[in-house]
Each structure stands twice: as structure tokens, then as C-alpha cells.
Amino acid sequence: MVWDVNNAISNESPKCRFDIVRYTRGVGLDIGCGIEKVFPHAIGIDSDIDVELFNKKSRADIIVKDGADLRIFASQEYDWVFSSHLLEHIVDYKAALKEWWRLVKQGGYLVLYLPHKDFYPNIGHEHANPDHKHDFVNKDIVDAMLEVGKGGWDLVVNQERNERDEYSFLQVYKKTSNHEFKFSCEAPKPKKTAAVVRYGAYGDAIQCSGVVAELKAQGYHVTFYCTPRALEVIKEDPNIDDFYIQDRDQVPNHLLQFFWEWEMRKYDKWVNLTQTTETQFLLDTERPVIHWPKELRHKLCNHNYVQVTYESAGLKYDGKPKIKFYPTLKEKNWAHDQIKKWGATPLVVFSLSGSSPHKVWPHMDQLIARILLEFPKSRIVLVGAEHDQILEDPWRNEHRVTCFAGEISIRKAITLAQMADFVVGTETGVMNAISMESVPKACILSHSSHENLTRDWVNTFAVFSTITDCYPCHILHRSFDYCPQSFVHGTAQCAEDIPADAVWAAFIESRKEAA
């Protein structure tokens, strides 16, 4: 591409931004951001010289005199530092690199996008940028980083890019503390690759564990795209070779489709399971389809979530999905120690609530009281998020009840549930994680039907209302705007209409089978 002096402020960073998403999580700086920051969440830094030269104002959040002098910023405070087509304008570029490196925290990234000497008019050429002080190739920056990269680094990306409208190279340095210089960018690439994309909550990620197991069995190197929250429950899955973590809205929603189209070219198989359930079989309240007659909504949405997940991935479904949560040895030992300390039988785990306001069952206290009365040697363990602690209040002084909501991780909660004698919960991540385990369980359904969620679960009692007019609604509720609310307990009416006796019957049946 011939560089045009009249296009001196062409915006370069969008050309590489989809390739640096995994390195630009958290809080970071875009040094020399110009007329557009690489991502909205970046802190844009610029001298605003383009106003003087081209009458174009930058989108900087902070104006500085010199991009190589950032003493106003604290050392090792940023998850990433990015700069596009700036370093070649700075006389003492090594000093600039040293300054930018100072800002990166341990484990963070320095991301550089620069014009390549072999693809871009060099200094002295008639089409060269008159403000350039250097012509670079990749090795020039590597050599400089060997001098100024204090503490050590790993060069994880080192690309020459001259296709389409690019004439640059991209480098990403990960900051380490071992005083060594590594080049993981040179590691051999897997021969057969697959990517699985699934943003969402715990249950959404767990439902994908069967898909990644099948892909791994087919010989794929599997990369899983997810959010930090989803990562928590699948990070020990041995069938996942690499995790591509994205913060929420890190890639703005209007760019997601373009990001996916860019990424899918890198894999032999691309499986995007985003919204496989949501919007398709759990309808968003913003969609007019929620006002369709219940019978039509049911016909449209009454399909099994996991089966559709498998089939969306192009996999055969035999009704026995390989859904699995993998605890660490430390987590298993912790759970064993807890159970041994309690010395109680039966051990009953209650998963208190799900991710939506309607996923709360109001008759939990009645069931707990009945279990304690008729099984005086039992142990009840309550698990959930910090906001579930209010549900534990009636039981804090009962020595046979352990209140763990907000006190233990979701991983420990699932590990305990795997070892319990009985588990009770609404449509939660915990219940999804043990869906194919032999432990007996009662899943209290709210917006989903038995066909949707529990149809193929192992040793499961699906409990749902048979008298609530709107159940199953197949609606993804974020409030009670479209969910009838009980006047008695303030929960969803469909949850109110499931009596304690229904779950008690499931519990007693499980005890008979255990005997």
C-alpha cells in the first residue's frame, strides 16, 4: 500500500484490535490513541498534536506533552499498555519502551503495532511520513526489549501483517518476574483446532462441557471463549486446552459479530453457542414474542437445551451428554474433611437461588424443618451467593445447619453437592454441574420445562407447578415485570405453587432407594 501524506492520521488501531482482545482485559492505556481509542474501556492518552497538524481532535481522556514521559502514571498499575504507530515518531524509542514497560503490572501486556520497514515507505522516500524518526522491523523491537524489559518477558505474539490494507507488525510482550526472555510465539501450532464460544453464567458454561469433551475425543485442540465468571466452573476441565477470556462488554456488542467472523478464520471448527438457549428457548422480555399465547410459546420453545447445544456444534446426541464438573484434588479433600467432621447422615445440600429473581423457592424452611425433625442425625448445607445470606437467617443458630452462602466458592459448593446424599435447588449452576452425577437431586423448575432442562438428567426428580397458569413461561426474567409475583412470599407464583410436600416426597423416595 502506498502511504499518502494526505492520509497522515489514518486510524491504524482498528486493524489489529480483534487480535488483541485477550491481551487488553482490565484497566489499560492506549498511548497515542489519536482520533479513536482501540477499545472504549481504554484510557486514551495523546498529545493532541493532530489538532495543530490536521485540525482533527483526538479522543484522548488525558492530554500529555510527550508520550514517552508518563511520570504522572504509577508503576506496574496497568493490566495492559497499547500503542499503535507512535514509537517510530519518538527519537529515543528505547526510553519510551522502558517508560511504557514500567507501567505494566506483573502478568500484564505491552502491545505494540508499528509500521514495518519492508511494507511501508522508509525515511527519505517521497511517500514517507516526514515525522518518522525510525524504520523498524520486528527484530529491532525485540533487541530493544532485551535491553529495557526489566524483570523478564514472554513474546506471545510476533506477526508481520501486510495483507489487505495493513503494512505493519504486531508484538505482544507479557511481563514476567523470572528474569528470563521467552518466545512462546514460536511454539508449534496445533494441527487440528476447534473453538467453542459461550458467554453467560455458571450453568451455561457447564452445559458446554459435554460439547468440548466430544470435540476433544475427535482429536481437536479446543479453545473455549468465555467470561471470567464462566471460567470459574470450567477452568479445570481437562478437555479444554486454552481459554480465551473476555470481560463483559470488552468487545462492544455492535462489534461482536465482526469479532467472531474475524476469529473463526483461525480454527478448523468454529462453534458459537452464544444465545443458543437465551433468545431462542428462553425469550428476552424485550421481544414481542413473549406476548404470544402460552401454547404457541411452548411449541416454539419446548426443546432440550443440551440437545440443541450438541446439535448446534454439529454433534450427535444420544441422550447421555458428557456434562461434568472437575474439582481439584484440594477441593475434593476439603469436601471430604467437611463431611468427616460433620459425621452426619443424610447430608443434604440446598442451592438457594439462581441468577434471576424468580429462581427462589419459598418453602425451603418447611422442608429443612421436616428433614431435621424426622432425620435428627442429618446435616443441611446451604450454598449460594452473598445475597442469599438473608435466606439463611432462620437457621444460623441451628447446629445441624451449615450456612455457606457467600462463604465458600461456587467450586466448593459443587464439590460438596457431588458428594451429598441429596441436593435441592432451583435452576442453578450447582444443579447443572451435577446433572449427570448419580447423586439424587430435586430440581425446582421455574421458567424452564422438564423437557428443556431435566429430561436427560441422572437420578433427578423434576418438581414443577401444575396449577400456575403461566408455567412454563419460557421467558428470561430479569425482574417481576412479566412474572406473576406471589402475594404471600414475594417469589414467582410458579415457585409459590410448589408445596414442600412435593420435594419431601422426592427426598423420601431417594432415601428408599439408598436403603
Whichever domain contains 227, its CATH number is 3.40.50
Same domain? For 273 and 288 the reply is yes
Residue 146 burial (10 A CB sphere; 0-12, 13-18, 19+): exposed
Residues 433 and 415: beta-carbon distance below 8 Å = no
Report the CATH number that the domain containing residue 467 is assigned in CATH: 3.40.50.2000
458-487 pLDDT, tens digit per residue, is 999 999 999 999 999 999 888 889 899 999
Looking from the CA of 439 toward its CB, the CA atoms found within 13 Å total 25
Same domain? For 152 and 229 the reply is no
Q: Does residue 454 come out as left (phi exceeding 0), alpha (psi in the -120 to 50 range) or beta?
A: alpha
pLDDT at 358: 80
Element (H, E) at 98: helix 93-103
pLDDT confidence of 3, banded at 50, 70, 90? very low
Q: How many separate domains does the chain show?
A: 3
- 324 located within any domain: no
pLDDT at 370: 98
**pLDDT of 394 above 90:** yes
Which residue, 152, 186, 220, sits at the end of a domain?
186
Alpha-carbon distance of 377 to 490, in angstroms, equals: 32
Average pLDDT value for the chain: 93
Report the CATH number that the domain containing residue 58 is assigned in CATH: 3.40.50.150
Same domain? For 206 and 70 the reply is no
430-447 pLDDT, tens digit per residue, is 999 999 999 999 999 999
Which residue, 257, 285, 312, sits at the end of a domain?
312
180-219 pLDDT, tens digit per residue, is 999 999 999 999 999 999 998 899 999 999 999 999 999 9
- 347 located within any domain: yes
Which residue, 186, 221, 239, sits at the end of a domain?
186
247-286 pLDDT, tens digit per residue, is 999 999 999 999 999 999 999 999 999 988 877 898 888 8
Closest C-alpha to 24, from 261, 244, 266, 195 = 244
Same domain? For 261 and 402 the reply is no
pLDDT at 5: 36
Phi, then psi, of 281 in degrees rounded to 5: -120, -10
User: Which residue has 445441624 as its cell numbers?
Assistant: 400
pLDDT confidence of 53, banded at 50, 70, 90? low
pLDDT at 4: 40
- 318 located within any domain: no
From residue 332, alpha-carbon distances to 100, 197, 437 in Å are 43, 29, 15
What cell was used for 380? Answer: 443441611
Q: What CA dihedral angle connects 366, 393, 482 and 284, to 10 degrees?
A: -110
Residues 443 and 461: beta-carbon distance below 8 Å = yes
Q: 252: cis peptide before it, omega within 30°?
A: no
Please tell me whether residue 123 adopts helix, strand or coil conformation.
coil
Same domain? For 463 and 414 the reply is yes
pLDDT confidence of 59, banded at 50, 70, 90? confident
- 270 located within any domain: yes
- 323 located within any domain: no
pLDDT at 34: 87
Same domain? For 165 and 143 the reply is yes
- 320 located within any domain: no
Same domain? For 412 and 431 the reply is yes
Please tell me whether residue 416 adopts helix, strand or coil conformation.
helix
pTM of the model: 0.92
Same domain? For 347 and 261 the reply is no
Same domain? For 212 and 278 the reply is yes
pLDDT confidence of 140, banded at 50, 70, 90? very high
17-26 pLDDT, tens digit per residue, is 999 999 999 9
327-371 pLDDT, tens digit per residue, is 999 999 999 999 999 998 999 999 999 877 788 999 999 999 999
Q: The dihedral of CA 68, 72, 78, 84: what is its sign?
A: negative
**pLDDT of 8 above 50:** no
Same domain? For 371 and 442 the reply is yes
> For residue 89, what are the contacts with CB-CB under 8 A and spacing of at least 6?
131, 132, 133
Range of the domain at 297: 193-312
pLDDT confidence of 9, banded at 50, 70, 90? very low
The identity of residue 456, as a single letter, is: D
Closest C-alpha to 244, from 219, 258, 264 = 264
- 321 located within any domain: no
Alpha-carbon distance of 151 to 149, in angstroms, equals: 6
* Lowest-pLDDT choice from 58-67, 375-384, 434-443: 58-67
86-130 pLDDT, tens digit per residue, is 999 999 999 999 999 999 999 999 999 999 999 999 999 999 888
Same domain? For 52 and 107 the reply is yes
Same domain? For 172 and 199 the reply is no
Alpha-carbon distance of 496 to 366, in angstroms, equals: 13
Alpha-carbon distance of 18 to 15, in angstroms, equals: 8
pLDDT at 1: 36
- 395 located within any domain: yes
